[in-house]
């Protein structure tokens, strides 16, 4: 078996040591070197030709974002961001993902399990090693102005009662989700989303999407209402489930065991949507490594929901959509650029 060659870039000697030791336990991964800053990393990338890079964003001499942008332009290497669990770290991680990073993970710290680091980072490295550099299309959208009136809808929604969209994604998903959300009309039914990301990063991601989109986007809180024109994103380290009270949908945010090595889990969300919304739901599964969401999408399909999967050509990693297709839960496989149109059409939304 050809091992995945990894270069670890971090200004902390302790972090470099922890990551290297933990990854050395994986039979399919080899740490070929470490670097304390981007200048040393540049030379080692040329000398060692790593398959994957782990990169801190806050470093001396040159910050990780600037280095990542230069790297993507002149010598692309699949890169995983290892960032602090802070609001600032979350915002920097979002900028890194927009600049070409494949995924993010929390830097080891007092509240972080080294065992979790080993398992999660290894999975992200495996995904990064097979990730493809695809162009993610999205329509340019003017940033939302503070206190501005909502943008008028271009559509009429023929049916508005008891409709919900459930979407799941992992590796490469932040940019794919952005491509979808920035094209949604404010008249679209409420959406619940699971993107595999650590705590704090999901809050920064939701805030970023809210600035870019005409729909409202927020990190979900317990008992938040699912309503037209609103997108609720599962908070990192918590599962998100759909519940119903009378004629209205709400969400519950809860802890629990990892499902498919994930919390939040797409399967947990999709299973709840299957039971609560049934044929009144639409499910979407986007790019990602692994099989999270495959069983849940099959459950949605069996309950009468309409289900879509992103096609292989537009995926960074075709793992999750492929598994959902194999499980028999996908009605239609479509390019990422066509998913917004498919969602509008699924609810009979007609342009005016």
Q: Which residues carry out catalysis?
A: 170, 196, 292
Closest CA to 8 of 236, 40, 26: 40
Instruction: Please check whether residue 68 is in contact with residue 101, taking contact to mean a CB–CB distance below 8 angstroms.
Output: yes
Length of the chain: 352
Collapse the DSSP code of 84 into the 3-class scheme (helix H, G, I; strand E, B; otherwise coil) and give the result: coil
In degrees, rounded to 5, the angle at the alpha carbon of residue 112 between the alpha carbons of residues 110 and 113 is 120
Q: Angle between the 64-74 and 87-98 helix axes, to the nearest 10 degrees?
A: 10
Strand 79-83: give its sheet, edge to edge: 29-35, 4-9, 52-55, 79-83, 103-106
Which is it for the CA torsion 173, 176, 182, 184, positive or negative? negative
Tokens of 159: 């049916």
Q: What is the DSSP track for 302-319? A: HTT-EEEEE-GGG-S--H
Strand partners, 307: 283
Q: Which residues of 263-287 are buried (b: 16+ CB within 10 A; e: fewer)?
A: bbbbbbbbbbbbebbeebbbbbbbb
Q: What are phi and psi of 54, to 5 degrees?
A: -105, 135
Give the burial class of 315: count Cβ atoms within 10 A of its Cβ; 0-12 exposed, 13-18 middle, 19 or more buried: buried
Tokens of 283: 């499910």
Contacts of 55 (CB under 8 A, 6+ apart): 9, 10, 41, 64, 67, 68, 79, 80, 81, 82, 96, 101
Q: What is the DSSP track for 134-163? A: --------PPPPTTPPPPPPSEE-S--TT-
């Amino acid at each position: 078996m050809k091992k995945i060659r990894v270069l670890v870039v971090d200004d902390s000697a302790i972090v470099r040591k922890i990551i290297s030791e933990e990854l050395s336990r994986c039979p399919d991964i080899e740490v070929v070197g470490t670097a304390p800053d981007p200048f040393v990393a540049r030379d080692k990338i040329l000398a060692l030709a790593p398959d994957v890079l782990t990169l801190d964003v806050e470093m001396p001499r040159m910050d990780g974002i600037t280095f990542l942008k230069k790297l993507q332009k002149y010598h692309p290497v699949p890169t995983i961001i290892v960032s602090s669990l802070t609001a600032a770290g979350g915002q920097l991680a979002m900028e890194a993902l927009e600049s070409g990073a494949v995924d993010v993970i929390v830097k080891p710290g007092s509240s972080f399990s080294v065992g979790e680091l080993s398992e999660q980072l290894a999975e992200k490295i495996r995904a990064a090693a097979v990730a493809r550099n695809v162009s993610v299309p999205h329509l340019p959208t003017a940033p939302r102005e503070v206190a501005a009136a909502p943008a008028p809808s271009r559509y009429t929604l023929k049916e508005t009662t008891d409709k919900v969209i459930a979407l799941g994604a992992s590796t490469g998903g932040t940019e794919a989700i952005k491509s979808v959300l920035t094209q949604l009309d404010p008249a679209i039914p409420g959406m619940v989303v699971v993107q595999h990301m650590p705590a704090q990063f999901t809050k920064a991601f939701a805030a970023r999407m809210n600035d870019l989109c005409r729909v409202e986007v927020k990190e979900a809180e317990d008992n938040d209402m699912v309503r037209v024109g609103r997108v609720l994103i599962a908070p990192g380290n918590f599962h998100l489930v759909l519940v119903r009270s009378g004629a209205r949908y709400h969400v519950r945010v809860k802890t629990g065991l990892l499902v498919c090595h994930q919390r939040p889990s797409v399967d947990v969300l999709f299973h709840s949507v299957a039971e609560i919304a049934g044929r009144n739901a639409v499910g979407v599964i986007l790019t990602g490594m692994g099989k999270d969401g495959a069983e849940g999408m099959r459950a949605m399909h069996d309950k009468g929901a309409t289900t879509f999967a992103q096609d292989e050509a537009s995926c960074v990693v075709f793992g999750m959509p492929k598994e959902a297709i194999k499980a028999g839960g996908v009605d239609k496989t479509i390019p990422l650029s066509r998913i917004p149109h498919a969602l509008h059409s699924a609810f009979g939304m007609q342009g005016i």
